[in-house]
Amino acid sequence: MSAHKHEHEHEHEHEHEHGRAHGERPGEHAQHGAHGAHEGHKGHEGHGGHAGHAHHDHARMVEDFKRRFFVSTALTIPILLLSPLIQRVFGFTLEFPGRPWVLWALSSAVYAYGGWPFLKGLVEELRGRRPGMMTLIALAISVAYGYSSAVVFGLPGKVFFWELATLIDVMLLGHWIEMRSVLGASRALEELVKLLPAEAHVIKPDGTIVDVPVSELRAGDRVLIRPGEKVPTDGVVVEGESSVNEAMLTGESAPVPKRPGDEVIGGSINGEGALTIEVQRVGEETYLAQVIELVRRAQETRSRTQDLANRAAFWLTLVALGGGGATLGVWLALGKDFAFALERTVTVMVIACPHALGLAVPLVVAVSTSLSARNGLLIRDRAAFERAKDLQAVVFDKTGTLTEGRFGVTDVVPLNERPEREVLGVAAALERASEHPIARGIREAAERQGLSPDAVEDFRAIPGKGVEGRLNGRLYRVVSPGYLRERGLSEAVEHPRVRELAAQGKTVVFVLEAPEQKQGQREERVLGAIALADVIRPESREAVAQLKAMGLKVMMLTGDSRRVAEWVARELGLDEVFAEVLPHEKAQKIEEVQRQGLAVAMVGDGVNDAPALVQADVGIAIGAGTDVAVEAADIVLVRNDPRDVVAILDLARATYRKMVENLLWATGYNAVAIPLAAGVLYSWGVLLSPAAGAMLMSLSTVIVALNAQRLRAGAARSPHPR
């Protein structure tokens, strides 16, 4: 399975903060959210059960970190003003009786209130024998607070409460931002539930219609579905004809005709006709419920990864612990007094404070997130965004992603020496009043060519075949290939160009001229053929070319027919295509690509893409798609522009480079600064005080911050931001 999402390997943070605090096992938070949404589906309660409770608990904890950050920051302002070092640096004096005690009281409040999550995390990490960032933060603030408090109470030395307060502020801010980024992890299932209507129109045996909650439907019930309404559950049509939009569930771009005997899927949208269905499956048995279960299972089985900062913090923890203890022991063994030895130890601990390390990754991410948001690229999962730099393959959904998800005219084939504009103009006039997707596509094509359809007289539909009407006294028809075969006009269907278009999976309709009856027969002439297909986005070709130039394999995954998929693949130059893939198979296809050893991104916008988005190493949703796809994804592209995939991957690679540079500096600085703090150059007269150590550490933080800002300059030169 892929290393994936929303649950980080930051055991020092999230398990402690929103898991263990409630006695949960690692990862249980997300599972509760998923499970609750699924239960909500069965009873159609939406946000009921564990999902609402877990979501509320996590939101409350995010608010708790936010509140601690703002309170601690407010208290830090007077701490900075009262600190001797800050006063010396900025050249002002603020002295009054009891100043050290006021400074100590304010710092004690910040230590106790703002530092509480880290102190609690220290206990959890040590209990689990996994010291990490929480241990290091707690150790740093405790040493800083303990030493400075001892100085206030009489120990010779200098306080550095400001360092304590600012360290706590920075860490609270980082944790607040990070926890907020995973808040939406359990929403995908809730959004899936919303696809179903709340009520269904049940037809009683006496013919009366009663609205009942969907949760009360039973197999065998007969349900009326009016035009434009959502299908409440899986069933079979027993009366009526219509076309049903299943794009959000199956990826099928064209509306699917439904007549008695055909199956319908709960959550799909009925078209122009009323349908009566007999309920076949309810609750957990429905197609949508199975998609929900797939998403839930994928969320539960994600493995988790450790990021670079966490590993660096672990080693820095060991170095700080070992270095501090060794420093104290060595100086005592050399005959120095305890105050001197403790001051050296405190300097080591302060200089090893993870200010720079704590900011190395979050600051780069903050800059890159800001940059991406301004360009319509929304990062929902930080860890997945960081993984994006390792991607080797990008798998696109077809409908609504590489294509526009709407029927459009791709070709007009004139026959009988009629010009293209005449063929298109006649078809647009006849389709003027229809809302069928084919009709809309023909009208839009005519509008783009500046054609104004004439008024039609005697308009009527030819059931199952097309439409007809009079233009300027002449009778015309727009019909399907089946109509031509019935009327002995197969030569038009067999025309080489028409056969080529049909072989590409395009929908072909024909425009006929039908003069008045002569001797009981109609002498119909085929004026031309019009081919329609799901329109390929103009930006898709550029996006595919750029991704291949970056060394990535580009693939496509679709529930559409193989002929349509292969036509799109040829047009765009894709490396591989998976066609006629059912929703429950999409995640399996992603897993197949992963088993080839490739790190995969999935780009999609439909409900049927949700399990695949979760299964992929990085899930990228087109923002105009459904809410489900957005919630199941790690990255959301606000625009329907595949080139934004290139932009986000470019940004991910640049962000990773800055992270590595910052981590190298933050850890490399400690490799030099810690020995100096310990006093290795004491015999040469070089001795750092705790205050000097704090200044060096602050300088390291400034360097890390400035380097992160350089990401903005790099992005400004990038050809991708729009």
Q: Could you tell me if 87 and 94 are in contact, meaning their C-beta atoms sit under 8 angstroms apart?
A: yes
The pLDDT mean for the chain works out to: 77
Q: Is residue 670 part of a domain?
A: yes
Conformational region of residue 261, where left means phi above 0, alpha means psi within -120 to 50, and beta covers everything else: left
Neighbours of 636 (CB within 10 A): 22
Instruction: Identify which has the larger pLDDT, 12 or 435.
Output: 435
Instruction: Say how many Å lie between the first and final Cα of the chain, rounded.
Output: 35
State the residue for tokens 């539909």.
461
pTM greater than the 0.75 cutoff: no
Cα–Cα distance for residue pair 368/629, rounded to 1 Å: 23
Cα–Cα distance for residue pair 460/217, rounded to 1 Å: 38
Same domain, residue pair 562 and 522:
no
Residue at a domain's end among 481, 509, 536 = 536
Residue at a domain's end among 273, 299, 325 = 299
Segment holding 647, helix H or strand E: helix 643-678
Q: Could you tell me if 504 and 563 are in contact, meaning their C-beta atoms sit under 8 angstroms apart?
A: yes
State the residue for tokens 């130039």.
549
Report helix, strand and coil shares of the chain as percent, to nearest 5: 55, 15, 25
For residue 361, give the nearest of 379, 383, 377 by alpha carbon. 383
For residue 296, give the nearest of 626, 632, 639, 1 by alpha carbon. 632
- How does residue 365 score in pLDDT terms, banded at 50, 70 and 90? low
CATH number, position 433: 3.40.1110.10
pLDDT of the residue at 716: 54
Q: Which two tokens stand for residue 547?
A: 């991704």
Q: Could you tell me if 19 and 26 are in contact, meaning their C-beta atoms sit under 8 angstroms apart?
A: yes
Longest dimension (CA), the chain: 126
Cα–Cα distance for residue pair 222/631, rounded to 1 Å: 34
State the residue for tokens 């209990």.
127
In percent, the amount of the chain with pLDDT more than 90 equals: 23
| CA distance readout (Å), 576 to 321, 558, 572, 573 | 53, 12, 11, 9
State the residue for tokens 């099928």.
252
User: How do strand 269-270 and strand 377-379 relate by DSSP bridges?
Assistant: unpaired
Instruction: Identify which has the larger pLDDT, 281 or 521.
Output: 281
Cα–Cα distance for residue pair 693/147, rounded to 1 Å: 14
Question: Which domain, by its residues, includes 516?
Answer: 404-536
CATH number, position 242: 2.70.150.10
Give the residue numbers annotated as catalytic, written as ranges.
397
Residue at a domain's end among 476, 501, 536 = 536
Quick check: helix, strand or coil at residue 234? strand
Same domain, residue pair 393 and 541:
yes
For residue 165, give the nearest of 202, 204, 112 by alpha carbon. 112
Same domain, residue pair 257 and 361:
no
**Alpha-carbon 373 to chain mean position:** 13
- How does residue 11 score in pLDDT terms, banded at 50, 70 and 90? very low
Same domain, residue pair 333 and 386:
no
State the residue for tokens 């996006």.
543
Cα–Cα distance for residue pair 698/353, rounded to 1 Å: 10
Q: Which two tokens stand for residue 438?
A: 């084919």
Domains contained in the chain, number: 4
Q: What is the pLDDT of residues 55-72, one digit of tens each?
A: 566 677 878 889 999 999
Q: Is residue 708 part of a domain?
A: yes
Q: Is residue 435 part of a domain?
A: yes
Same domain, residue pair 550 and 532:
no
For residue 593, give the nearest of 434, 419, 391 by alpha carbon. 391
Least confident segment among 109-113, 239-243, 251-255: 251-255
Q: What is the pLDDT of residues 595-619, one digit of tens each?
A: 999 999 999 875 668 888 889 999 9
Cα–Cα distance for residue pair 626/332, rounded to 1 Å: 67
